[in-house]
Amino acid sequence: MSPYLFLVSEYARLAKEGKSFPLGGFPPTKKPEIPAEAPKVLFFAPHPDDETIQGGLALRMLRECKWNVINVAVTQGSKKDRQAGRLQELKGACNYLGFGLEQLAPAGLENVSIKTRSSDPGAWVQMVKIISDILEAHKPQVIFFPHEHDWNGTHIGVHFLLLDAMKSCKNLNCFVVETEFWGQMQSPNLLVEYTANDVADLISATSFHIGEVKRNPYHILIPAWMQDNVRRGAELVGGQGGAAPDFVFAQLYRARKWSNGGLENIYEGGQWLSAKENPETIFAQHKLIAFDLVDIPGMTSFTKKK
């Protein structure tokens, strides 16, 4: 009998068993002491739960770099009868991971989409102003938001909302890390490895979004998604035909820099960040970081194969 039957059967058993696990209510994970002058990381979440599903690198930056990670809740979902409940679930998830939380409006922003951008410029300008005020107030070193083809209308809307807001800011210099979930990126340049503990904490935090995972227990599928990211990232980031990294769980990102009113590449080709390497190495060779990083180990980098 093929040993792969056992492998697949165990995957199926665990996926089914995971549906019976408790949702939320776990005590917060231990948060490191964050220096008052620590760089800020703003994670612009289109919906409550994006901060836990796509926020693995932000979590590593909080824990390993001791940077101040703040989740910015762009919307609280489109169902008005769930917006208050989703906010409470979001507070629990952020508290569990140790993320700060910034709410943009009592019920979050509404109709964040490229349709609004084109058909209701007045409403769009107001939302751009709200985001640009957040950027000006926090002066982040790194911001996270979805890439431009992330399928979901709100995810795509948040992408263009951030671009317009950044263009409206004076003297904004920061790193930009684009995320993916609903739609795959065609040109990621960063593959980030996570430990089993990292992934377990992201799943546990996602389970705080009880109203969402009860209707669709997607939280227990996060490990499988991250395993597939390793398969894709080996060649999308490492180049066609290259050897795969010895990762089990990972996420794909696109890391760039916002400078002089536009996006700039920060390295040639792609990079892998292993669980043993400090996330600061992604940004260490660039001038936005104002402190000494001499003792930080380098990360795997390469130029993509044609």
pTM for this model (two decimals): 0.93
Give tens-digit pLDDT for 111-157.
999 999 999 999 999 999 999 999 999 999 999 999 999 999 999 99
The SS3 assignment for 228 reads helix
Q: Set out the domains of the chain in order of their start, with CATH numbers.
A: 13-302 (3.40.50.10320)
Q: How far apart are CA 84 and CA 76, in angstroms?
A: 8
The pair of three-digit structure tokens given for residue 186, joined into one six-digit string? 């065609």
- Cβ distance 209 to 225 under 8 Å? no
Q: How far apart are CA 231 and CA 191, in angstroms?
A: 10
Which of 78-82, 221-225, 266-270 is the least confident region? Answer: 266-270
| Average pLDDT of the segment spanning 258-275 | 92
Give tens-digit pLDDT for 42-55.
999 999 999 999 99
pLDDT at position 286? 60
**Which of the four pLDDT bands, split at 50, 70 and 90, describes residue 187?**
very high
Give tens-digit pLDDT for 37-96.
999 999 999 999 999 999 999 999 999 999 999 999 999 999 999 999 999 999 999 999
Give the CA dihedral 9, 14, 19, 24, nearest 10 degrees: -170
pLDDT at position 242? 82
**Which of the four pLDDT bands, split at 50, 70 and 90, describes residue 285?**
low
